[in-house]
Amino acid sequence: MMLKQIIVQGLVKNYMNGKIQTPVLRGLDFSIEKGEFVSLVGPSGSGKTTLLYVLGGLEDYQEGSVLVFDKELKTYSNLEKAELRSKKIGFVFQFYNLIPNLTVYENILLSAVLGYQSSKEDILKILDIVGLSGYESYYPSQLSGGMQQRVAIARCLINEPEIIFADEPTGNLDYENGKKIMELFSHLNQSLGKTILMVTHNEETTTYASRMIHLLDGKVIRDERKLR
């Protein structure tokens, strides 16, 4: 039985610049099933980031419907949206977004405070999963980019999200570090069963995904599933 976690139908999103309306998402239809690893690709400006923000309840939309965990996003209250983002969906960004004057441990703890309460053991266990055992007292500036991205992934994992949204998570990393981060996402998907929706524009990283959705000018132009 396939469990659909996200169902998008006829999604239209416009940005308003003064009185000028700029269409960004122009009628999208797709759904995402539990356990998929979806790579969202397309040229700069095609609407990839906007789509993640809409699906995460961070941006509204003008037409169509977006069901997230069987509930239309438009009917989520602000509190429900905040809970969705703190407990059900984890976000990972290109530039990590860690708080510089907090240690690795404190960065993760802060996220845990917003979501579920976690014990010290939970945090240490998650640091182990991302390959950062022993680094809990380090500050972000003492870590390489690849390690900082691991902290950001640990931070998103602490509240046990069902879906992880990642926006070009390897975009700031060299090839080797990027590859390690992709292997970590692959592990989260295959071993921990996390659904992943990841924006990438490096075609190589798409080898880890089970499906590729191609966006162009706010439309899905191709949607391919791979056997793996």
Chain contacts with ligand ADP (rule: CB under 6 A): 15, 17, 22, 24, 42, 44-50
Least gap, CB of 180 to Mg ion (angstroms): 22
Least gap, CB of 59 to ligand ADP (angstroms): 8
List 49, 118, 148, 159, residue binding Mg ion (CB under 5 A): 49
Q: Which is nearer to Mg ion, 49 or 195 (CB)?
A: 49
- CA angle at residue 144 from 143 to 148, to 5 degrees? 70
3-state secondary structure 151-187: HHHHHHHCCCCCEEEEECCCCCCCHHHHHHHHHHHHH
Tell me which of ligand ADP, Mg ion, none is bound by residue 46, counting a contact when its beta carbon lies within the kind-specific cut-off of 5 to 8 angstroms. ligand ADP
Other CB atoms within 10 Å distance of the CB of residue 216: 14
Q: What span, in angstroms and rounded, lies between the C-alpha atoms of 116 and 87?
A: 7
Q: Does 159 bind Mg ion (CB under 5 A)?
A: no
Q: Which is nearer to ligand ADP, 17 or 78 (CB)?
A: 17
Q: Which is nearer to ligand ADP, 37 or 93 (CB)?
A: 93
Q: Which is nearer to Mg ion, 48 or 150 (CB)?
A: 48
**Cβ–Cβ < 8 Å for 39, 212:** yes
Q: Which residues bind Mg ion (CB under 5 A)?
A: 48-49
